[in-house]
Amino acid sequence: LVENADDLPKAPALVRIEDEWTEYREKKESLFVISRRGARQTAATKHPAGAPVRYGEEVIFEIPLPAYRHQEE
C-alpha cells in the first residue's frame, strides 16, 4: 500500500522497498498485485508501515569496443 502510486511505473515493473526488489504485474490506485518478491536476488522480508518505496527507469548502456583479429601468416 502506498499513498500515491500515480508516479510509479506502469506494470509490469519493479520497485525497491528497503533492501528488497519486488516485481508487480498490476497497479490499482495505491495497491499492487505482486508477481514476485525477492527479485534481483534480494531477500523477501517484512517491511514496516511507511517504509520507503523506490523506483527508477531502466538504463541500458551500449559501449562500442574496438575489436580486431590478428591474422597469422
Q: What is the pLDDT of residues 10-56, one digit of tens each?
A: 888 899 999 999 999 988 777 778 899 999 899 999 999 889 888 87
In angstroms, the CA 24 to CA 29 distance is 13
What integer pLDDT is reported at residue 36 of this predicted model?
93
Residue 42: predicted pLDDT = 92
Dihedral sign from CA coordinates of 16, 20, 24, 30: negative
Residues 6+ apart with CB under 8 A from 10: 27
Considering just the CA atoms, what is the radius of gyration of the chain in Å? 19
Asked if pLDDT for residue 1 goes beyond 70, the answer is: no
Q: How far, in Å, CA of 57 to CA of 21, rounded?
A: 14
